[in-house]
Structure 1
Amino acid sequence: MTGRLYGVGLGPGDPELITLKAARLIESADVIAFHAGVGKTSNARTIAASLIPPTAIEEELRYPVTTGETAHPGGYAGAMAEFYESCASRLALHLSEGRMVVVLAEGDPLFFGSFMYLHDRLADRFETQVVPGVPAFAAATAVLASPLVRQTDVLTVLPGTLPVPELARRLADTDGAIIMKLGRRFPGVVDALRQAGRLEHALYVERASMPAERWMPVVDVDPATVPYFSLIVVPGDSVASDPQGRRDSLVGRVAREERAGASRPIHPLRVIGLGPGPDKWLTPEASEALADVDHVIGYGPYVARVPQREGLTRHASGNTVEVDRARLALELAAQGEKVAVVSGGDAGVFGMASAVFEAAADHPDVPIEVLPGVSAVQAVAAKAGAPVGADFAVVSLSDRLKPWSVIEKRLRAIAEADLVLAVYNPASRSRTSHVADLQKLFLEHRSPDTVVVVGRDVGRAEESLTVTTLAELEADTIDMKCLLIVGASSTTVTTAGQVWTPRFVESE
């Protein structure tokens, strides 16, 4: 008969915050396991000391390394993986002999806790139960006696080990935030808070619920004194995170300036194409413009690609509110704000440029500048070779803004004219048959051997490029991450697998 494994959360440090269930299991354990840092006593064991029975076998799981360098051939990750394998083997011996094993975990066992790595290795072999504990951030907010988030605010928990630009971006895009794993990363975290405009109200809490607990504004903290058992609380701000709230706040500020007799020049509203994905495809012109604006507006994933910096306000929204985004941008620009609207690829190719001009009638005094970017069709064509080296057409299969009958009419004309076709927005969760419809229509006018290129996530880590034929195209595998290029009758595949279309056309 095998034993049972328990991952028991102890809470943030105060023994009185250990749950009744956790206490009962600790007092009944045959084996008590706990992690310890290099050259340090185990904080988990210290918290639970009064509950550990004298008959229990104690297994100290001492880390071989924390954040320093290691000579292990697999580096830090390799050293830690080997360590967890060793720990799991030690505990498996006890479990195989029928003992009840309790692994002590500070806070909650599955919240940035080491127990999860033992769970990964043992839960499929032995009966396992996890006992939740009070997480450190809950204790921190109790120390501050201040709400963290209200109503519809979004809370984000972030590790301070993230790269500074990524941490700044995520801080700018959330309401309330908790930043954990500080220690020597603290200076970079402060830099990220400053870039995100969140430093002023950020609060530092150290050893929450423990006798040595303390808290203060982040700006008052000496970086040399920051231990690992500390975190930062960034209170939520519903008004600042809500587009309408931001708009009302800005309108109020402008009204106050007008009453005071102040006037602000109107800057051009910049509509910027970010390219299909990688930073190296962002043009120097676009980078320079983004570094100069006060507001960036766009679809969430595109706004996320703009580096956060001090003084920049980000306005991210969903995928089907283009005109609303444009109106917000124009309103801000009309108030004298420096504003950029961003699109993936080229803003003028199924991007935000048209939406901005559509909404611009109400703001005739706001000049509009469109900055070009590498389009998705250019990126896929370049990866494939030169499939659009001759006359070609570009069509979106989305019927959200135009009826399918219009799309079908245009596709038929393109097929009959023997033009290369680039297809944007080929499919979505609600549009599953359009690619198959296109395939059927083109097969009425083109050879089954017509070359088709399928580019997926081109320029990104998940990039793939498939060269197939019109007859063999698997329509049900195409989604919104894809761009299709359907060749003309003259489009050719080289022996190296590259696709190109001749510039010349023989007379008919």
Structure 2
Amino acid sequence: MTPAPVTPGRLYGVGLGPGDPELITLKAARLIAEADVIAYHSGVGKSSIARRIAAHLFPAGVIEEDLRYPVTTGLTDHSGGYAGAMADFYEECAARLATHLEAGRCVVIIAEGDPLFYGSYMYMHDRLSGRFPTEVVPGVTSIAAATAAVASPLVRQTDVLTILPGTLPEPELARRLADTDGAIIMKLGRTFPTVRSALEQAGRLDDALYVERASMEEERWLPVRDVDPATVPYFSIIVVPSATLDHASVGEPSVVEETGSEASRDHAAELLIVGLGPGPDKWITPEVSHALAEVDHVVGYAPYVNRVPQRAGLQRHATGNTVEIDRARHALELARAGEKVAVVSGGDAGVFGMAAAVFEASEDPEFAEVQIRVLPGMTAIQAVAARVGAPLGSDFAVMSLSDRLKPWGLIEKRLRAVSEADLVLGIYNPASRSRTTQVADAQAILLEHRSPDTVVIVGRDVGREGESLEVTTLAKLDASAIDMKCLLIIGASGTRVTGAGLTWTPRSSS
């Protein structure tokens, strides 16, 4: 008689919460008590914290699988290094648990906090959930326990919370801390000195709170400033509450109002608008670098704000695209309050950048006292042109194909005028996710007046990683391959290509 096939067992990833056994959920407790196999991770030479939290719930006779890490410090003689050692370890663990699941056993993997939040369970989930029925039971995170320990509101209303691993490079960590309202920093231990330095650079050190072993018997918390780096364990968290407090209801001045009133007595209200160039830091002018080192606030589109090095006392105000006027008003309000502010743009701020938006917003009489100063930057068209020779050697025009602020009919009219005038043409903003036909439309208009052999240069991400340059012709231009990262230069009738593939336009071109 053929034995009946064994029904595969079920896999559970069960969160235990941050350490206090009373924070284990009812569902987690039930599943642990009903398990055939309970698995848990443990460090080299250490007992499992997860097992310690939940051991009182283990049923009699349960099979235990201690998944013990082969290495925890990153130092190993494995041929594949730390990553290779850990990959092999997770494969071995998955194979051990699969044996139980194939035998029809219920396997519960217990994890501190939540199973899918910086936890080891996720590596078993990746390897087993596609083969066996799987359920994840959420747990109270260490974040919730840490904020409860310090009894400090973390974020409120529209504040943004950012969760950061302390293993990030120090400049990146400082930048992200400066860009957010509230923050949680995890994975401390040996990274603590770097994290503390990043907090200081971001101007967040005074408010940062250190919580050790949240919800456990050994729990303690104190200001980060007072922490001895030599005593910091891995199981610790830094809580950085949002600086957004509702002082208005109790009549206290905001930080901007208070500091601004003092600053305004020292100097006239001024707003700087600076161009960061199109790509690498070496293309930022010394004048702009000096200005950015002096201001207290940087305002701009997030990718450009992110290019400004973080330092102590610098406040960053990053926003999304298409909100230029709101961004400009915010900068003007800060400047009017006496703050030292720079609005940043890629390339040159006066070429399809933030300068025009700031001047537009400044027409409001409330900003009449704010002096505006624009500092130039290298433009994208200069960078592309230099990479391929001298295509701008004679008269040229520059246009944007974006019809967000002007109608397409006007763009068509200007394209025809430039074509008829036989000017070299630089094209910014040629395409986007929502504008997919305009390059082809512009190509057709230009071909009405230009030879199919007209030289065309396509520069993508010039000065950045992934830079590419293509010299082609107007007829062969692949419009479908053009996106927002590209800048086009359409040559005049006299634009030439050298034997080495460089382009140039004679100064006498007509």
Both proteins in one fold, TM over 0.5: yes
Amino acid at match of 1:503: P
Q: Work out the CA distance in 1 between the residues paired with 2:423 and 2:455.
A: 12
Amino acid at match of 2:288: A
Counterpart position of 2:149: 143
Task: Give secondary structure in 2 for the equivalent of 1:200.
Answer: helix
Q: Work out the CA distance in 2 between the residues paired with 1:506 and 1:374.
A: 25
Counterpart position of 2:167: 161
Counterpart position of 1:29: 35
Q: Work out the CA distance in 1 between the residues paired with 2:491 and 2:459.
A: 14
The structure-2 alpha-carbon separation of the partners of 1:387 and 1:3, relative to structure 1 and needing over 3 Å to count, comes to: farther
Tell me whether 146-155 or 498-507 shows the greater mean CA deviation: 498-507
Deviation at 1:252, TM superposition (A): 5.0
Amino acid at match of 1:352: M
Q: Does 2:276 correspond to 1:270? A: no
Choose the corresponding residue for 1:442, options 430, 446, 471. 446
The structure-2 alpha-carbon separation of the partners of 1:23 and 1:355, relative to structure 1 and needing over 3 Å to count, comes to: same
Deviation at 1:389, TM superposition (A): 4.2
Alignment of 1:80-229 (within 5 A): 80-229=86-235
Tell me whether 22-31 or 316-325 shows the greater mean CA deviation: 316-325
Alignment of 1:349-498 (within 5 A): 349-360=351-362, 362=365, 366-492=370-496, 498=501
Task: Give secondary structure in 1 for the equivalent of 2:317.
Answer: strand
Q: Does 2:504 correspond to 1:501? A: yes
Deviation at 1:105, TM superposition (A): 1.2
Amino acid at match of 1:318: G
The structure-2 alpha-carbon separation of the partners of 1:50 and 1:476, relative to structure 1 and needing over 3 Å to count, comes to: same
Aligned 8 A contact 1:264 1:335 in 2:
no
Deviation at 1:169, TM superposition (A): 1.3
Q: Work out the CA distance in 1 between the residues paired with 2:63 and 2:50.
A: 16
Aligned 8 A contact 1:300 1:317 in 2:
yes
Amino acid at match of 1:337: E
Deviation at 1:183, TM superposition (A): 0.7
Amino acid at match of 2:72: T
Task: Give secondary structure in 2 for the equivalent of 1:38.
Answer: coil
Task: Give secondary structure in 1 for the equivalent of 2:73.
Answer: coil
Counterpart position of 2:283: 281
Q: Work out the CA distance in 2 between the residues paired with 1:268 and 1:151.
A: 31
Q: Work out the CA distance in 1 between the residues paired with 2:503 and 2:28.
A: 67
The structure-2 alpha-carbon separation of the partners of 1:253 and 1:279, relative to structure 1 and needing over 3 Å to count, comes to: closer
- For structure 2, the 5+ residue unaligned runs are 1-6, 247-251
The structure-2 alpha-carbon separation of the partners of 1:485 and 1:19, relative to structure 1 and needing over 3 Å to count, comes to: same
Task: Give secondary structure in 2 for the equivalent of 1:263.
Answer: helix
Amino acid at match of 1:11: G
The structure-2 alpha-carbon separation of the partners of 1:137 and 1:473, relative to structure 1 and needing over 3 Å to count, comes to: same
Choose the corresponding residue for 1:5, options 4, 11, 16. 11
Aligned 8 A contact 2:78 2:84 in 1:
yes
CA offset digits 1:480-503 (Å, max 9, x no partner): 22222223344455666x441342
Q: Work out the CA distance in 2 between the residues paired with 1:434 and 1:222.
A: 60
The structure-2 alpha-carbon separation of the partners of 1:378 and 1:85, relative to structure 1 and needing over 3 Å to count, comes to: farther
Q: Work out the CA distance in 2 between the residues paired with 1:468 and 1:232.
A: 54
Q: Work out the CA distance in 1 between the residues paired with 2:393 and 2:42.
A: 64
Aligned 8 A contact 1:491 1:499 in 2:
no
* Root-mean-square deviation (Å): 2.9
% identity of equivalent residues: 71
Q: Work out the CA distance in 1 between the residues paired with 2:387 and 2:42.
A: 51
Deviation at 1:12, TM superposition (A): 0.5
- For structure 1, the 5+ residue unaligned runs are 241-245
Aligned 8 A contact 2:304 2:344 in 1:
yes
Question: How many residues are matched?
Answer: 500
Q: Give me the TM-score of the superposition, normalised by structure 2.
A: 0.89
Structure 1 runs, 4 residues or longer, greater than 6 Å off: none
Counterpart position of 1:243: none
CA offset digits 1:414-464 (Å, max 9, x no partner): 222333322111223443332222011112122334343333333333444
Counterpart position of 1:45: 51
Deviation at 1:269, TM superposition (A): 3.2
The structure-2 alpha-carbon separation of the partners of 1:294 and 1:506, relative to structure 1 and needing over 3 Å to count, comes to: closer
